[in-house]
Amino acid sequence: MASHGDGFICHKLVNQIKAPSIDLRTMTKKREVIRLERESVIPILKPTLISALSSHLDTSDRDEFLMFCQRVEYSIRAWYLLQFDDLLHLYSLFDPVHGARKLEQQNLSPEEIDVLEQKFLGKLFQVMEKSNFKLTTDEEIAVALSAQYRLNLPISVDESKLDKKLLTKYFMENPHDNLPYFADKYIIFRRGIGIDQMNDHFYHTKVNAIIIRIWMFFLKISGLKSLLGASRNRQSQVFSKQIDISTESEDDGLYVERIRVENMTLGISTLLKKITIQEPTFDRIIVVYRPANTTKEMERGIFVKHFKNIPMADLEIVLPEKKNPGLTPMDWVKFLVSAAIGLVTVIGSLSVPKADVKVIFAILSAVGSYCVKTYLSFQGSLVSYQSLITSCVYDKQLDSGRGTLLHLCDEVIQQEVKEVIISFYILMKQGKATKQELDMRCEELIQRQFDQSCNFDVDDAVHKLEKLGIVVQGADGAYFCADLGSANKIIGITTEEIVSKAKEGDSSST
């Protein structure tokens, strides 16, 4: 699996054959292209970054630069220490496992608890923003769920099991643009894009695709398609939205194709050979929600779950409080068509003067067997679904609760340290620059040196450099930095260095 670290925008269906035909070998083939945009995440490990940059310095400057990097990290970590401690303390009150007991010990009123939980959400959103996580929108959810990958069953959320007061109150006091329709019950943060591929024969999926194409063709020529399409509910309307984009315009985006059986040309050779399907993935997903109260006492637990490498089309596996899936529309079609065929055949047999009971029994047995087969096929899909959910819990869930928050806090620190190091290095090596010039040079360095793309957050980097006192803006608007030796003196020796030297002294004395 390859991660691109890019943000997900939208997709486009591109027709490749002018007119559809009932001949399955020439049936309309479509390409689904998902356009990505660069995110602000620097996709380079900090040790790799420091090692690569220091290798281009003279030997005399290398030690100074390594000390500079160390002091920058210690300083930024100290800046965030109190903020992160406050976040973790607040979450300890709403931890689903031990939070209720701690709240009881605090002896707080319901109003005071409301204030604390809203304060926690505010700090959580700040950390999410600093970690470059973004709230998913209706459009993004629509694109993600407009296809199927491993999940082939209709999955929905049992909204009655989710609390609606917590997030509703937060978004009333803190308005956000483009909130998804489910934002009153749960929120999904996403960051980064990867690619997942599977290679197999996919016999069952191919046969289902052929049946669906024939059925859709029948609905179209019979005029039932427009009639059925008029009765969609709100969720299906959201998921059916498509955002059209131009794939021919030149920009900084990246285009990834979604390859699935439903859009392939299904000839005899395709049916018999192995094929490769491809689906973009969300590199990181974080889901936040609170279950609805099922007891008389007010439950205040807030769930924070962290997932990795989730295929877009299978986004349903991270949803909270999922309902057990039922029969798919295609399964119902199979049942109804089988029953109709059986009924017509039996009536036709009974209209014959000398109806053969054995023939009628054989027809009914065949129809019944086919219905049983369809049901057993659904049960098999249900077992696969449960297996996939279990796999997700064990393999794709990175952490939850406090562990997720600690992970986010560390990511914020590492990201900002890398921003400061890169921007200072550019000013040190290439001289003074305006913000726009510095932004461009930093992105060029990341592309040239590490073959990675990144939308560098120059505003945040310059703010940190000015806060450290090692960069100054001139009268002409350009920024210039102190030399390495002066920068280290300005930052000064850190507490961590003092402790480290004390440990070295203890070890040498023993």
DSSP line for 14-37? EE-SSS--SSGGGS--EEEEEEEE
Distance CA 38, CA 311 (A): 19
DSSP conformation letters of 312-362: GGGGGGG-SSBPPP---HHHHHHHHHHHHHHHHHHHHHHHSTT--HHHHHH
- Can you give the pLDDT at residue 106? 86
Given a contact cutoff of 8 angstroms between Cβ atoms, the answer to whether 328 and 384 are in contact is: no
The list of the chain residues with pLDDT below 70 reads 1-30, 152-153, 219, 222-254, 294-298, 324-364, 366-371, 373-385, 388-389, 391-394, 505-510
Q: Which residue has the tokens 């924070």?
A: 304
Q: Where are the alpha helices (DSSP H) in 392-494?
A: 402-430, 435-450, 458-468, 484-491
Report pTM: 0.76
- Can you give the pLDDT at residue 375? 66
- Can you give the pLDDT at residue 104? 85
Distance CA 80, CA 85 (A): 8
Q: From residue 33, give the alpha-carbon distance in Å to each of 124, 169, 242, 248, 389.
A: 33, 37, 12, 12, 27
- Can you give the pLDDT at residue 17? 29
Residue-wise pLDDT tens digits, 111-149: 999 999 999 999 999 999 988 899 998 888 887 777 778
Distance CA 263, CA 494 (A): 59
Q: What is the DSSP letter of 259?
A: B
Residue-wise pLDDT tens digits, 239-248: 333 333 333 3
- Residue 110's nearest CA partner among 297, 304, 302 is 297
Given a contact cutoff of 8 angstroms between Cβ atoms, the answer to whether 437 and 93 are in contact is: no
User: Which residues lie closer than 8 Å to 460 by C-beta, 6 or more apart?
Assistant: 416, 419
Distance CA 267, CA 275 (A): 12
- CB-side neighbour CA atoms (13 Å) of 219: 13
- Can you give the pLDDT at residue 497? 81
Distance CA 424, CA 479 (A): 10
Give phi and psi for 193, each to the nearest 5.
-130, 140
- Neighbour tally for 96: CB within 10 Å: 16
- Can you give the pLDDT at residue 380? 67
How many contiguous H segments (helices) and E segments (strands) does the chain have? 17, 11
- Neighbour tally for 448: CB within 10 Å: 9
- Can you give the pLDDT at residue 20? 29
